[in-house]
Amino acid sequence: MDLWNLYSGMYFNRLFEEQVSNLWRQGKISGEMHPSIGEEAITAGVLAHLIEGDALALDHRGTAAAIMRGIDPGALLDEFIGLPTGLCAGMGGHMHLFSEDHLLASSGIVGASGPAAVGFALAAELLRPGKVAVAFFGEGSLNQGMLLESFNLAQEWQLPVIFVCKDDQWAITTDTNPNVSPVQRAQGFRLPTSSIDGNDLKVVYQTAGKAIRNAREGKGPAFIHATCNHPEGHTLDNQLVRVGRRPLKEGMAITIPLLKSVFKIRGAPIIERIRAMIQTIKMIRRSASHHRPQSSDPLKHARELLIKDQERLDQLEATICAEIGELFSATGSRLTAEDSR
Amino acid sequence: MDLWNLYSGMYFNRLFEEQVSNLWRQGKISGEMHPSIGEEAITAGVLAHLIEGDALALDHRGTAAAIMRGIDPGALLDEFIGLPTGLCAGMGGHMHLFSEDHLLASSGIVGASGPAAVGFALAAELLRPGKVAVAFFGEGSLNQGMLLESFNLAQEWQLPVIFVCKDDQWAITTDTNPNVSPVQRAQGFRLPTSSIDGNDLKVVYQTAGKAIRNAREGKGPAFIHATCNHPEGHTLDNQLVRVGRRPLKEGMAITIPLLKSVFKIRGAPIIERIRAMIQTIKMIRRSASHHRPQSSDPLKHARELLIKDQERLDQLEATICAEIGELFSATGSRLTAEDSR
Amino acid sequence: MKTIKFSAAVDSVLAQQMARDPRIVLFGEDVQALRRNLFVRFGARRVRNTPISESAFVGAAVTAAMAGLLPVVEVYMVDFLGVAMDALLNHAAKTYAFSGEQWSVPMVVRAPCGGGYGDGGQHEQSLWGWLAHIPGLSVVVPSNPADAGGLFLAALEHPHPVIFMEHKLLSDTWLDFLAGGSRSTISFDIPTSGAEGLVPNKWQPIPLGRAAVCKTGSDLTMISVGVGVHQALEAAKILEKEGISVEVIDLRTIQPLDLETIIYSVDKTGKALVIDEDYQQFGLSGELAAVLLEAGINCQYARVCTEDTIPFNRQQESQTLPNLERILSAAHRLVD
Amino acid sequence: MKTIKFSAAVDSVLAQQMARDPRIVLFGEDVQALRRNLFVRFGARRVRNTPISESAFVGAAVTAAMAGLLPVVEVYMVDFLGVAMDALLNHAAKTYAFSGEQWSVPMVVRAPCGGGYGDGGQHEQSLWGWLAHIPGLSVVVPSNPADAGGLFLAALEHPHPVIFMEHKLLSDTWLDFLAGGSRSTISFDIPTSGAEGLVPNKWQPIPLGRAAVCKTGSDLTMISVGVGVHQALEAAKILEKEGISVEVIDLRTIQPLDLETIIYSVDKTGKALVIDEDYQQFGLSGELAAVLLEAGINCQYARVCTEDTIPFNRQQESQTLPNLERILSAAHRLVD
Ligand SMILES: Cc1ncc(C[n+]2csc(CCOP(=O)(O)OP(=O)(O)O)c2C)c(N)n1
Ligand SMILES: Cc1ncc(C[n+]2csc(CCOP(=O)(O)OP(=O)(O)O)c2C)c(N)n1
Ligand SMILES: [Mg+2]
Ligand SMILES: [Mg+2]
């Protein structure tokens, strides 16, 4: 495992997405924005094992995987902005990344990465023996029928698919039922499973390595459950996160109508209303405590593994910082030039 | 458990469906025909516990359940024929049976009975506390996303749904992968499960009783896996069954083109072809051995429990026989009268 | 009369009716958060979060309706009905017919639709003409708060399944949620009179199948729905200055169509311009041509619709969705 | 030239192309049995049974195509695409556009369609106009063995997704399978020249988007597809005896439409009668009206389509699907 190399991809992605977030906040990127910040160790640990000819099926949160798979960051950035010079000529945006060269496809439809990986793996079996397909998806997607079907199909056809569930415990505003075990669900389809701390790069690397090796050898699919945390919440600046971060300003906008509603005549018995109110407050609180920088940050974690060689680390980070700076300032001036036209 | 009563429903259904099969062969019923002959013990054992206000979601093979739930056999028969006097005014046919009075709905879409039962159960929880919903489906349906999703939804909402998987080991021409355990799959969704011999009326009765009692008491959904056999195969007179029964005549029609194809130049390596040929022959053989009357016939089984009182049994059967005779001869003459008009 | 916002109008009718009619239940992903004001008032039994399992919960709504409830089932976007299409196509739409018209399915699917905020082609579709193809479904697309409330009330009173679509450009809550609308740095082409407007003090149902003539005119009839209605009105204003008198019809419901209003108007003007944000081919714009021809109206006809997958790039997006420029040039071609 | 049956023509092209092009794989429920002649020749790697998981395996076909295969994915009936609609609507149809036209999806969905054999409304739908609404999908509906083979070859050569539909009334194998067609006691209204017919010794692709003029005439143009073409020809024969000269157009592909042929013919006859087994509203019949009006053709127009959920009852079924009687009376109304 070349830790330096992996860390450098993770670090690059973090800075990249932070800058993307800025651009988004500046209104240079339209629509929603689902950062993958926080899942860098999962991405790096899995992708470290991929070789040319392997395929990747991504969900709505595919930035880190696209970056670490080697897609040109400039093309990616331009795609996010929607420029003709983007990876997909500005047609897709951050949820619809496609690169035939990398056999990389993403989708904004929850669960779609499962069938997509199965199709990629089928092509691998017939055209590129020894190659594999990886599907990334969140734990919320485990409720989407097509993903469940794809577990079974991969198993029936014994295809080289690695299903990677990035469990951040949230699906937008819904925090995962703690009684649900993703691993148990995957076992229902006879998939070999592992459940790991997705913030721990080494563990991800080892687990993914084994699964991918097996898949290459024709031993069929596997399921990896890896926990993580998305400090930005579901999308940049979504209401839940805003309330968590600016409780006074944003909280009031939510609280006043809530209080009005809870006291309206006609409705559920008071006890049910109180329960609903408490549940709502709890959900907002939990969201606030989850959706902020965490001590478990995978980047911090990985960094500690390298801190022994502080000098090299500093240099690496400085280099990447400079690269990112260059990329974004170039793009920034291009955008400004266009704006003024 | 009123064995006599249950047996009488089973016996009635068997004769009813045999007569229906005759009418179908006579061309009086159009389209496909999926007999439920062979699953009478499952139906009887489960339905014995249902009371007014309980709901039933059926698949394409719903005749036995409709009969034993108390739908007027005359209306059912007319529906199968497509008469305006049918249960659904002849609009649905045997795959689309609907009775609001019985809260009974069926669908020809594989897996649809799962979501349907969840909706019925939701209405039960809110409008008819203590009432339950039963979903019947085959083991092939366990691969359909919406059914899997419905397991989870019923569990999340803790609804009174009893999911009953009638495992006949076949989905049309596909015999079940013996490595797949329906129970394991259901456990993936945290459903309490039982796996039983669906030809054994007593066992079905006891297992279903417990599951339904729990559901009524608000303890949530359950999954019952019950084996059975459909001696008629997937549909009446389908090609696989015909080949099994009339190997000479029907077999040749299949074999000649097969042989021609297997020896065509260009195609898979010979070893793969031979494997495919063997698999095809095996499949036809297995179908032939499955799709004929079995010693495990649930009716025989149930009958043995009553044989002590041979006299009463004879009388019961004679009565039912007469009822069926009357029903079908009346319908027969109506049809003839219409034909001659 | 009071002034409220588009989605607030729907929510207000929903709250009013939930208070009156205990059969109404609301479910969908995150609705306890998205409709939190209903949640804290009506509780967890009637306002339910679902897993991300559209085919199961839309399917469940069908039988819940059949068994006595009146489900309002909400999906994040109409685009995501792809995964639940069987429940609509083969169950919601067909049960009444299959049962010999004995058992009906009173349910409402509430679905945001439409584009114009840069979210890409899997999240900005309209699909109203597509859904209306299926016999047994009604499809409602309001263009302003008053219609949204009145039509939603009618949808709740309708004994058969209704797809109720809220254009995201008209809904401040959806724009906040899906377009980062809270950013001061981004702006959208929001039709102000559609996003916010006067509504009656007491809601009255607006019958399904009744179009609104938003503006009368004599030279040309523009027929549209949703955001397109506002574009048509804007175009009409400009054309009016050129001396072209435009009649603007807001269909309000796609299925059933208000044939009478459509035919009467085009018969009068002799020219029909359909502005349809849904895909052009095999959809609403075609159906309007057919009903005109069937009525024996010989007219000049043009359409401005969405012809392709909607691009993410904002400029191309606005070229692909109907826009003022395309509407004006089509109108000119018709009139010259 | 030789005479073969409808589905055999498709199978024959499929076998020929599988022998030539190793990228072609075939999968679907029970295809190892249903296409057993291909199975024993091409083996289990290329002819694959699937579980009953349409959304997974149609979805998988999309990326399999993107990664270098040419999947022919078979579903039991077009009606069942309801459960797989997301794969078509949001993936197969959109990937080429999303990728900036850099990555295409060469796949063929083979789906039996149509009614007239008494199998009920969830199993007899046509849905071709519905599918054609989605930009990015081609939709092919042949009416005879020669077209079936030639169009299937073109579908295999097409770089984008094609829905290839086989009308069950034209396919003896599907009728056996789904209608108990092996019974001597039952009969269907099978268009004989559609179910069996002459085909070329060497298959040539028939380009998508090229209609066939099956019969020329001067008073009235009938436009149809699939079984409707045969009904139109039958009606034309009867009308001819009354002195009414009918031109009959077989569209063959719904998407793309052959505008030229349609417009030329209706311009000539001044009268268009659309016979469409798919649902009437918001579909093919409407689109044809629109393209005629857009071309500035002022014509008389009528349509005979399926207006409602298809009843199981054979008599009502035949009243609901287009039939000769309805076609003749519509033609008379147009001509008188
Ligand atoms: C079929 C479908 N339903 C709903 C949505 C809306 N949606 C987008 S992301 C998301 C939550 C996904 O949760 P998870 O899979 O855990 O991924 P996460 O966002 O937490 O990384 C939902 C509901 C969608 N895109 N597709
Ligand atoms: C969504 C869908 N796909 C395919 C079919 C065609 N089909 C009808 S029954 C059936 C097999 C069902 O097998 P199983 O659930 O085991 O029930 P069984 O017929 O064995 O009782 C199939 C594939 C369908 N009706 N619906
Ligand atoms: Mg998540
Ligand atoms: Mg079975």
Contact residues on chain A for B188, CB-CB shorter than 8 A: 184-189
Q: Could you give the CA distance from residue D276 to residue D143 in angstroms, rounded to a whole number?
A: 13
Q: Which pLDDT tens digit goes with each residue over C206-233?
A: 999 999 999 999 999 999 999 999 999 9
Residues within 6 Å of ligand 2 by CB: B 60-61, 108-110, 137-141, 168, 170-172, 234; D 29, 52, 54, 76, 80, 83
| Per-residue pLDDT at A337 | 84
C91, C123, C158, C160: the active-site residue: C123
Please provide residue A155's backbone torsions phi and psi, each rounded to the nearest 5 degrees: -70, -45
Mean pLDDT in residue range B225-242: 94
Instruction: For residue B219, give the nearest of B111, B121, B136 by alpha carbon.
Output: B121
Q: Would you call B98 and C55 a contact, using CB atoms and an 8 Å cutoff?
A: no
pLDDT(B306) > 80: yes
Q: Is the pLDDT of residue D336 over 90?
A: no
Distance, in Å, from the CA atom of B209 to the CA atom of B31, rounded to the nearest integer, reads 36
User: B98, B155, B158: best mutation site toward chain C, by most C Cβ within 10 Å?
Assistant: B98
Q: What pLDDT, on the 0 to 100 scale, is given for residue A248?
A: 86
Query: Band of the pLDDT at A27, cuts 50, 70, 90?
Result: very high
Q: Is residue A257 within 8 angstroms of chain D, CB to CB?
A: no
Distance B166 CA to ligand 4 centre (A): 7
**The pLDDT value given to residue C28:** 98
**Ligand 2 pocket check: which of B32, B39, B106, B172 to mutate, most ligand atoms within 8 Å of Cβ?**
B172
Is B146 close to C45, i.e. CB distance below 8 A? no
Residue type, B90: G
Query: For B119, phi and psi rounded to 5 degrees?
Result: -65, -45
Q: Does the pLDDT at position A341 exceed 80? A: no
How much is the mean pLDDT over chain C? 97
pLDDT of residue D32: 98
Of chain D residues 233-262, which have a CB less than 8 A from chain C? 254-255
Residue type (1 letter), B255: T
Q: Which residue of C has its CA nearest to B152?
A: C51
Q: How confident is the model at residue A175 (pLDDT cuts 50, 70, 90)?
A: confident
CA dist C191 and C250 (Å) reads: 14
ipTM of predicted complex: 0.98
Q: What gap in Å lies between CA A322 and CA B133, rounded to an integer?
A: 63
**Which atom from ligand 2 is nearest to the alpha carbon of B139?**
16
Residues of C in contact with D83 (CB under 8 A): 55, 85-86
pLDDT for A249 equals 85
Average pLDDT over residues B262-290: 94
- Taking alpha carbons only, the member of C122, C128, C144, C111 closest to residue C31 is C111
Q: Which residue is closest to D34 within chain B, CA to CA?
A: B173
Closest CA to D73 of D170, D187, D194, D156: D156
Sequence-distant (≥ 6) Cβ neighbours of residue B22 within 8 angstroms:
none
Kindly state whether D309 is in contact with chain C, defined as any CB-CB distance less than 8 angstroms.
Answer: yes
Is the Cβ pair A148, B146 closer than 8 Å?
no
Cβ-defined contact of B31 to D19 (cutoff 8 Å): no
Instruction: Annotate D274-299 with three-state secondary structure.
Output: EEEEEECCCCHHHHHHHHHHHCCCCC
**pLDDT for residue A340:** 75
Note the pLDDT of residue B338: 78
Q: Do C118 and A84 touch (CB under 8 A)?
A: no
pLDDT at D76 (0 to 100):
97
Question: Which one, of B306, B222, B187, B181, lies nearest residue B49 by Cα?
Answer: B222
Instruction: For chain B, say whether A214 makes contact (Cβ under 8 Å).
Output: no
Which candidate from B90, B92, B237 shows the least CB-CB separation from D183?
A: B237
List beta partners, residue A40.
none
What's the whole-number mean pLDDT along residues B287-307? 94
Chain C nearest-CA residue for D256: C281
Residue D93's closest CA among D126, D143, D56, D139? D139
**Cβ pair C311:A91 closer than 8 A:** yes
**In this predicted structure, what is the pLDDT of residue B247?**
85
Q: Over range D127-144, report the average pLDDT.
A: 98
Q: Which ligand is nearest to the CA of D51?
A: 2
Encoded tokens for A71:
């897609």
| Dist. CA B167–CA B227, nearest whole Å | 5
Residue B49 pLDDT: 98
Question: In this structure, what token pair is assigned to residue A164?
Answer: 């990677």
**Tokens at D334, concatenated:** 């147009």
Q: pLDDT tens-digit profile of A56-72?
A: 999 999 999 999 999 99
Give the DSSP H or E segment for D94.
none
The reported pLDDT for the residue numbered D298 is 85
- CB C40 within 8 Å of CB A276: yes
Q: Model confidence over B17-64: pLDDT tens digits? A: 999 999 999 999 999 999 999 999 999 999 999 999 999 999 999 999
Residue closest by Cα to atom 15 of ligand 2:
B138
Q: Chain B contacts of D187, Cβ < 8 Å?
A: 27
Q: Among candidates B30, B98, B124, which has minimal Cα distance to B335?
A: B30
Q: Which helix (H) or strand (E) holds D309?
A: none
Q: How confident is the model at residue C154 (pLDDT cuts 50, 70, 90)?
A: very high
Q: Name the pTM for this structure.
A: 0.98
Q: What tens digit of pLDDT does each residue of A275-306 get?
A: 999 999 999 999 999 999 999 999 999 999 99
C-alpha of residue C289 to centroid of ligand 4, in Å: 48
Exposure b/e, C140-163, CB count within 10 A at least 16 = b: bbbbbbbbbbbbbbbbbebebbbb
Of how many residues is chain D composed? Answer: 336
Tokens 């919960």 map to which residue?
Answer: C57
Helix ranges, chain B (H)? 3-25, 40-47, 63-68, 73-81, 113-127, 145-156, 182-187, 201-216, 239-245, 247-262, 270-290, 298-306, 310-340
Nearest to B292 by CA among B227, B229, B238: B229
Average confidence (pLDDT) over C315-334? 97
pLDDT value for C82: 98
Per-residue pLDDT tens over the stretch D268-322: 999 999 999 999 999 999 999 999 999 999 899 999 999 999 999 999 999 999 9
Question: D83 to chain B: which residues are within 8 Å by CB?
Answer: 109, 111, 144-146
Q: What is the mean pLDDT of residues B287-303?
A: 94
Name residue, tokens 């509430």.
Answer: C110
The protein residue whose alpha carbon is closest to atom 21 in ligand 2 is: B138
